[in-house]
Amino acid sequence: MTGVISLLPEGRPGLLAPLLSGAWLSGGSEDLARYLAEGGYAPLPAPDRLLDRIAAAGLRGRGGAGFPAAVKIRAVRDAPGPPVVVANGEEGEPGSVKDRWLLRHRPHMVLDGLRLAAAMTGAERGCVYLSDARAERAVRRALAERPPELHIDVVRTEHAYVAGEETAVVRRIDGGPALPTAKPPRPFESGVGGAPTLVANVETLARVALTHSRPEAADDVAGAHLLTLAGARGAAALVEVPVGTHLKVLADLCGHGRAEAVLMGGLFGGLHGAGWTDLPLDHESLTAAGGALGCGALYFLHPEDCPVAVAGEATAYLAAQSARQCGVCVSGTGALAGTLTSVARGTANHDTTDQLHRWSRQLPGRGACGLLDAAARIVATLLAHFPDRVDAHRGSACPACADPAPEDGRRFRVPMP
């Protein structure tokens, strides 16, 4: 069962709360009249005023890297040539649903944010990039309800782990495959059709829109996060929480109170054990703990869940999702997944784990995108935080570890609420 929950204090503006009562909904999507009445699509601001407000509030991008939004917008604005702005709604992480949910239910808010991004950068052309059919219908309906000031294309892609990576987004919009390219150039230098391009996550754009309609609450808007919570046991939920909420509170929220580990940031932030419950949800704390908030998906492990099995399934999925463009990624993710299989089968020895240690140090940063880094971090954190659980597999197969681990990421998938 999947629910939608807001933990924001009463009266604080958020992305979920207005829709939870159902009053804002019209045909399953937000009602345009209500959105307008609450300050949506307000007259365009002086571009620098909104940009300065976003910078002062410290809004970070919500696609995964957590880069300061204002820095990215300024880089596009200051690059030579007429820019393009893209609302990126293709969430490749199997455990995340927030972006599809926003596009399905709050398309006006995302389009409002895209319009504001265009105003801040000087773009006259925009694009909504997505893979979900229901989200596409909602966006097209919203565009028909309120025709935008700028030209907006809707581009559909195949759902895949790397399809939302920003260079893959540009390549697909330009008519190619949704596969990453080597950087530089980054899209802000040369993106869609060679133009400087802002590729912004749809939650980031929704927060830009809310910052514009509720300027007095800019800090609260920038400090709240949409998260997808799940686990092998308990329920799943899409939640909106204030920054600083402890991970233990999030686990308790949907029946994972007994959890003793968490896979963080979708598949990007690694596995974390002892002490994770004390971590506050903020970019800096999670990074300092060796994790990453990434797309905001958290997968909780209970005592009876095997971290080796979870790591095995995650790396098998990543190996299967490799775009097979970089030799080191093809061989590296395959080797990590295959070696974890030998750990799970009970055939690993000290040499095997030494090899995993070496690879997890050597592989990060060597692929064109973050997929190889994600696989290496899962292995590094498994070895660092669960040495006893890894050792317990020596000499005998673990019943919890499927043989071979499924490659389809089914363990991490969350049904749409």
Query: Residue 110, interface with ligand SF4 (CB under 6 A)?
Result: no
Query: Residue 368, interface with ligand SF4 (CB under 6 A)?
Result: yes
Query: Residue 167, interface with ligand SF4 (CB under 6 A)?
Result: no
Choice from 2, 325, 352, 355 touching ligand SF4 (CB under 6 A):
325
CB of 158 to ligand SF4, least distance (A): 14
Query: Residue 335, interface with ligand SF4 (CB under 6 A)?
Result: no
Query: Residue 329, interface with ligand SF4 (CB under 6 A)?
Result: yes
Residue span binding ligand SF4 (CB under 6 A) among the ranges 219-227, 343-351, 363-371, 385-393 = 363-371
Choice from 369, 376, 390, 401 touching ligand SF4 (CB under 6 A):
369
Give the list of residues 6+ apart from residue 39 with CB closer than 8 angstroms, or none: 212, 213, 214
Choice from 64, 180, 231, 291 touching ligand SF4 (CB under 6 A):
180
Choice from 59, 323, 379, 405 touching ligand SF4 (CB under 6 A):
323
Choice from 94, 367, 385, 412 touching ligand SF4 (CB under 6 A):
367
The owner of tokens 């581009």 is 155
Query: Residue 97, interface with ligand SF4 (CB under 6 A)?
Result: no
Residue 111 CA to residue 135 CA, distance in Å, equals 12
CB of 164 to ligand SF4, least distance (A): 12
Query: Residue 173, interface with ligand SF4 (CB under 6 A)?
Result: no
Query: Residue 326, interface with ligand SF4 (CB under 6 A)?
Result: yes
Choice from 97, 162, 259, 292 touching ligand SF4 (CB under 6 A):
162
Query: Residue 409, interface with ligand SF4 (CB under 6 A)?
Result: no
Q: For binding to ligand SF4 (CB under 6 A), which residues are involved?
A: 162, 180, 322-326, 329, 367-369, 371-372
